[in-house]
Amino acid sequence: MTADIRIRRRTLVLYSALLCLALLAFVSTNSSFQCSDTSGVGAGVSHTRGADADADPPSALPPLPRPQPLTHTRSGCVPRERQHDPDLPMIYAITPTYTRPVQKAELTRLAQTLMWLDNFHWIVVEDSDTKTPLVESFLLQTNLEYTHLVARTKKNKQLKPTARGVEQRNAGLDWLRKNLHNDDQLNGVVFFMDDDNTYSLQIFEEMRLVRKVGVWPVGLVGGMMVERPLVDSSGTKVLGFNSVWRPERPFPIDMAGFAINLHLLKKHPNAVFTHKVQAGYQESEILRQLITKDELEPLADKCTKVYVWHTRTEKPKMNEENKLRAKNPKGSNDGLEV
C-alpha cells in the first residue's frame, strides 16, 4: 500500500469521526424538545419544551401576547373562549338576515370578525316563519353568545316595498326590552349590524364609549367614498352631514353609522322602525324618537377615521346552475350546505 493511499484513508476516517461528533452534539442540544400526540392518532402534533419551559430566561423580555382565536380539534376549528369583563360595556348587535345563495358566506365572514370580541351578544333575526337549519347550525358552531329569532317581513301592498329589515330590527329591539332590566344589564349599546357590511374591530371599541347616540363615518355608501358627520373645530359637536342623497333627511346617516346606549333605548319603549317611511329614512325614524342632532356624539377620532364599510357581495351568476337544475332539480349542491 502506497503512502498516498494510507494518507487518504486516514483523512477519510478523521472526517467521519468529526461528522459523528457533530451529530452527537446536535442531538444533545435539541434533546429537550419533544413531540407528543395529545388527542390520539391523527389528532395533530404539539411542540412543547421540557419541565422548565414555562420559566422565562433571566434576561428575556416579556413575551408579546399572541391571540389564539381558534383551537384546532379533530372535528375542526373551535373559536376561543371569550372573557366577560363586568366593567366593559356590552354590545348587542342586531343582524337581519334572509335565505339567499351568499347567506352563509356573509355570516361566516362576519362571525370571524366577531369571534375576537369580548362582552358581545349577537342577535340574529331571520326573515322567516321558522328558524332555518342553516342559520341554526351555523350559529351553534360559532361559539359566540347569541340569540336566534325569526320575524317574517309583512306582505302588504300598502307597505313601502324598499323598507327592508323593519320587522327583524324591531324583533331584536323587543327582545332587548323584555330581557334587559337592571343597570348592570343596561351597561352597553345596541348596534344595527347588517350581514353584508365590513367591520373593523376598532368600530366596536369605539361604540362602547357611547353615552346616548354615537356616530361615525361609513365608507362606500350613498354613492360616495364616505358619508360622515361634519363636526366643529373641537370635534365634539355634530354640525351636519356631508350626504348628497336626500340631504334633507333629519339624520342623513347609514344604519352602520351609529349606536344607541341601552339606557336611552329603555327610556323610549315605543321607539321602533316602521314601514310608514320610505327607504333611506329608517335611520332617521328611529333616531328622531330618541335624540336631537345637537346631542349626537362624534366618535372615530372626531369622525376622521373610517372603521366600517357598506360593502355588498356581488350577486353570484347562476346561469349554469339554472341549466343544470332544468335537467336535475337537485342541483350541484345536492347533499352540501353552501
Q: Which residues are catalytic?
A: 283
Rounded to the nearest 10 degrees, the angle between the axes of helix 103-114 and helix 133-142 is: 20
Copy the grid coordinates of residue 203: 368600530
Rounded Cα gap, residues 155 and 124, in angstroms: 21
DSSP label at 88? Answer: S
Distance separating alpha carbons of residues 104 and 12, to the nearest angstrom: 66
- Give alpha helix (H) positions in the chain: 3-29, 103-114, 133-142, 166-179, 201-207, 262-267, 282-288, 300-303, 319-327
**CA separation for the pair 265, 149 (Å, rounded):** 20
What does the alpha-carbon distance between residue 188 and residue 207 come to, in Å, rounded to a whole number?
A: 9
Order the strands of the 90-97 sheet from edge to edge. 146-150, 120-126, 90-97, 188-192, 258-261, 213-215, 297-298
| Residue 182 · residue 259 · CB < 8 Å | no
